[in-house]
Chains A and B, each alone.
Chain A
Amino acid sequence: MELLKVEGLKKSFGRTDVLMGIDFSLQKGEVLAIIGSSGSGKTTLLRCLNFLETPNEGKITVSGHAVYDSTDKKRKSAKEKRENQLKFGLVFQSFNLFPQYTVHKNITLAATLALKNTAKKEKMTGAQKAAALAEIEAKADRLLAQVGLSEKKESYPCQLSGGQCQRVAIARALALDPEILCFDEPTSALDPELTGEVLRAIKSLKGGDRTMVIVTHEMEFARNVADKVIFMADGVIEEVGTPEELFGAPKSPKLRAFLQKDKDI
């Protein structure tokens, strides 16, 4: 069964239709790259998956469980909303790190706050809470090592380069073990010489059963890292397939024109 299934997703802002019926599915462990020119709806699609936008129509299913269904008018409880939210992780184009906290605290903050709530509800003992807290901290250390920033643990975001900030943001998203990790043009806000380190960090996450959805303008990267590529144009999926199919033998004229433009630069 698919891990993620999106059916008939539609979204418009006022009179502008941004998504006009998106359907796709993703297996566990697959890496999906979404490409397309600006304004094609890639980012809106990603924001819909992460509940930052509410679609007008359609259905989003994760492991057979509907996290969004426009026909279901029943209001979801706060707990259910949070659970659905945490199935997805998102790395933003502009990082959105919390400037007043150290790198380490950026990664542990959300989990620590959640622990405080459960500790109160489930009446955890001091020792249980301390153990859970230690686990959160240890995990942050592991993730920082994974993105190669262990020595920056106590630094503040303003002391880091853009590439380092983005790697912290990746670690922060991973800390909550999302089933599907999304990237919204993760290198678009970076200087060209810094994109490499971020792309390498993302590439190193591939493997095992980590499922990722990456919106990107880096065609080479999409080609190398993705198992499946979606090309979007004007709010619809114009073409979908393996990287070899899309980059090797593009069928749609729009995709051919898009890839040509990329080569021309």
Chain B
Amino acid sequence: MFSSLSEWFSKELPAIGERFVNAFLPESAEEFMTIAESLWSGFTTTLELFALTLLFALPLGLIISFGSMSKFKPLKYLMKIIVWIVRGTPLMLQIFIVFFIPGIVFNNPIFKQDRFLAALITFVLNYACYFSEIYRGGIESISVGQYEAGQVLGMTKAQTFFHVVLLQVIKRILAPISNEVITLVKDTSLVRVISVIEIIKVAERFSSQGLLWPLFFTSVYYLVFNGILTLLFGYIEKKLSYFRS
């Protein structure tokens, strides 16, 4: 292609540089501000989905984990089957299914008006199943002696769980939970498949107008937010380091 290395350096390299600058840098501060603002409005959808998913999935996961540890076999197996299906199929597929089912089966497309709700329901169910397995692992790792100590001291099962076991479980599951939470931030980008406008969907519109940098720039939002989450989890971990269990 190029006759010599020096020719490559003199001709191709500057061209690469120019393309790079065009792709990654805005033309003006004004352009940057307007687009960064639209991206932010897309990111608020991301944040909303993230926060609401955690709010509902964290407690629901606990309920599912109790179900899958239940001595009542039908409940136990029902929960195991649900967790198998949810973890065994792609989240993207689940979003489609939840979105389309009411229209196709009940002839009542309730999610047409509120696509976000369909996305939220799917995310809550999906993440609750993942959380439930993390909880189960944590709960089953606590020594039976802790429960027995609670019992001989006349505490109820609920008191033993909430006042003795729970904090020890939280300490143990913090690392896997932080993994899931950070994955959740990025998984929210999947909701674009049912046309919920989140940050990447916004950026894509600009790239179809020939502006590439907004698409790459979305990573800054993700990185900053996940950076904050990482610090937060580090803080909680430190707070709980005063005891060993």
Most buried by A among B152, B156, B163: B152
Check B152 against A89 for contact (C-beta < 8 Å). yes
Pick the residue among B151, B159, B244 that contacts A113 (CB under 8 A). Answer: B159
B245 cross-chain contacts in A, Cβ below 8 A: 99-100
Check B154 against A92 for contact (C-beta < 8 Å). no
Interchain nearest-CB distance for A15 vs B (Å):
22
B151 cross-chain contacts in A, Cβ below 8 A: 51-52, 85
> What is the CA–CA distance of A100 and B171 in the complex, to the nearest angstrom?
10
B154 cross-chain contacts in A, Cβ below 8 A: 82, 85-86, 110, 114, 176
Instruction: Flag whether A90 is at the interface (Cβ < 8 A).
Output: yes
Instruction: Flag whether A20 is at the interface (Cβ < 8 A).
Output: no
Interchain nearest-CB distance for A90 vs B (Å):
4
> What is the CA–CA distance of A176 and B150 in the complex, to the nearest angstrom?
12
A78 cross-chain contacts in B, Cβ below 8 A: 156
Pick the residue among B145, B156, B171 that contacts A94 (CB under 8 A). Answer: B145
Instruction: Flag whether A156 is at the interface (Cβ < 8 A).
Output: yes
| Interface size in chain A (residues, C-beta < 8 A) | 27
> What is the CA–CA distance of A89 and B155 in the complex, to the nearest angstrom?
13
Pick the residue among A52, A100, A110, A157 that contacts B153 (CB under 8 A). Answer: A110
Consensus secondary structure, chain A interface: mixed
Q: Provide the A204-234 mask, 1 if CB < 8 A to any CB of B, else 0.
A: 0000000000000000000000000000000
Pick the residue among B148, B156, B244 that contacts A158 (CB under 8 A). Answer: B244
A96 cross-chain contacts in B, Cβ below 8 A: 143, 145-146, 148-149
Pick the residue among B152, B156, B163, B244 that contacts A90 (CB under 8 A). Answer: B152
Pick the residue among B143, B155, B167, B242 that contacts A110 (CB under 8 A). Answer: B155
B243 cross-chain contacts in A, Cβ below 8 A: 99-100, 156-158
Contact residues of B between 142 and 201, Cβ < 8 Å to A = 143, 145-146, 148-156, 159, 163-164, 167-168, 171
B164 cross-chain contacts in A, Cβ below 8 A: 98, 109
> What is the CA–CA distance of A92 and B151 in the complex, to the nearest angstrom?
12
Interchain nearest-CB distance for B116 vs A (Å):
39
A173 cross-chain contacts in B, Cβ below 8 A: 152-153
> What is the CA–CA distance of A90 and B150 in the complex, to the nearest angstrom?
11
Pick the residue among A50, A99, A158 that contacts B168 (CB under 8 A). Answer: A99
Pick the residue among B148, B171, B244 that contacts A92 (CB under 8 A). Answer: B148
B150 cross-chain contacts in A, Cβ below 8 A: 110
> What is the CA–CA distance of A86 and B159 in the complex, to the nearest angstrom?
16
Which residue of chain A has the shortest Cβ distance to B152 in the bound complex?
A: A90
> What is the CA–CA distance of A99 and B150 in the complex, to the nearest angstrom?
13
> What is the CA–CA distance of A86 and B143 in the complex, to the nearest angstrom?
22
Instruction: Flag whether A172 is at the interface (Cβ < 8 A).
Output: yes
Check B167 against A100 for contact (C-beta < 8 Å). yes
Check B168 against A172 for contact (C-beta < 8 Å). no
Which residue of chain B has the shortest Cβ distance to A158 in the bound complex?
A: B244
Interchain nearest-CB distance for B159 vs A (Å):
5
Check A99 against B155 for contact (C-beta < 8 Å). no
B152 cross-chain contacts in A, Cβ below 8 A: 50-52, 85, 88-90, 173
Apart from A92-B149, A96-B143, A99-B245, what 15 extra A-B contacts exist at CB < 8 Å? Answer: A85-B152, A85-B154, A89-B152, A90-B152, A94-B143, A94-B145, A96-B146, A98-B149, A98-B164, A100-B167, A109-B155, A109-B163, A114-B154, A157-B243, A173-B153
Could you jot down 11 A-B contacts, CB within 8 Å? Answer: A52-B148, A52-B152, A85-B152, A94-B143, A96-B146, A98-B146, A99-B244, A109-B164, A110-B155, A114-B155, A176-B153
